Amino acid sequence: MCVSALGMALMAACVKMVGTDVSTFQKLFFRNIVNALVVLVSMSRMGISVMPKSKRSAKFIFYRSIVGLTGATCFFYAISNLPLADSNMLNKLSPFFVMIFACIFLKEKFHRIQIIPLLMVFTGAVLVIKPTFNVEIYPALIGFISAVFAGGAYTLIRYLRTMEEPNTIVFWFAVISFVFMFPPMMVTGFVVPDMKQLIFLIGSGVFATVGQVAISYAYKYAPANEVSIYQYLSIIFSALIGGVVLGEIPDIYSIFGGVFIMGAALINFYITNRVVAK
């Protein structure tokens, strides 16, 4: 999960540095076609079949792909329209949605005391979003929505853990994503990237592959509510990249929001391992 956090932070930085003249759909298309090729080569060398093992697992891989693609589209939009740290903070609300969805759909344990970190994390989200009820709030709300869909996608990965290899799940997510992104990419206008943009587009695909494969293995080998805390390292990575490379300094509300969100993650980790485990 730590490797995944670094990969996702670097992916977000690459997406940000591509620029706003390239559409969200084109960014996702490039990211996922690179993702699919890298995973395909890896699976070929490991002797892993790309085909799902059953019709049931194929169905849930499709569900995971659609839910994940919706979340990724919202996340990429947020990255392009918010400071890098803010977009990552909002997206990293996803583990709390994993906790909720895993409790509802996978029957994983949920203790009443875990309501405390849930309230903290939503307080942190409000501080980052800074609701003003005008158009400026839209990117932040879309970033929040990206976390809901990401939480749903990670819950489906957790459900698939005994059915499929993580690489198979990642491969089909990438294939379905670039196929679905092709029509809107062409409708909104394909931009021929310059060399700098091309490097960052390819980089986003490579780092996304690292992040997705790592997170799939993390959810395969451990309960969702135990390992999800380590995703929060990407907030720190993104804040450092945003500050050093992009010159983005979070405002006081975002800083306090981040403190609430990461504090909630630590409290939930403690509750999961010390209270619920007993």
Report pLDDT for 275. 62
pLDDT at 14: 94
Amino acid at the residue 99: M
> What does the pLDDT look like over 32-90, one tens digit per residue?
999 899 889 988 988 888 999 999 999 999 999 999 999 999 999 999 888 888 888 88
pLDDT of residue 27: 95
- Tell me what pLDDT residue 158 has: 84
Measured in residues, the chain has a length of 278
- Which amino acid is residue 64, in one-letter code? R
pLDDT digits (tens, 9 = 90+) for 154-202: 899 888 988 988 889 989 999 999 999 999 999 999 999 999 999 999 9
**Helices 55-81 and 138-160: angle between axes, nearest 10 degrees:** 160
| pLDDT value, residue 201 | 93
- pLDDT for 99-147, tens place per residue? 889 888 888 777 778 788 888 888 888 888 777 656 678 888 999 999 9
Mean pLDDT is lowest, of 73-77, 100-104, 228-232, 245-249, for 228-232
The pLDDT of residue 133 is: 59
| 250 pLDDT tier (thresholds 50, 70, 90) | confident
Q: What is the pLDDT of residue 152?
A: 94
pTM of the model: 0.84
Domain boundaries, the chain: 2-110+133-244
In this predicted structure, what is the pLDDT of residue 25? 95
What's the pLDDT at 22?
A: 93
Mean per-residue pLDDT, 217-243: 79
**SS in 3 state form for the chain?**
CHHHHHHHHHHHHHHHHHCCCCCHHHHHHHHHHHHHHHHHHHHHHHCCCCCCCCHHHHHHHHHHHHHHHHHHHHHHHHHHHCCHHHHHHHHCCHHHHHHHHHHHHCCCCCCHHHHHHHHHHHHHHHHHHCCCCCHHHHHHHHHHHHHHHHHHHHHHHHHHCCCCCHHHHHHHHHHHHHHHHHHHHHHHCCCCCCHHHHHHHHHHHHHHHHHHHHHHHHHHHCCHHHHHHHHHHHHHHHHHHHHHCCCCCCCHHHHHHHHHHHHHHHHHHHHHHHHHCC
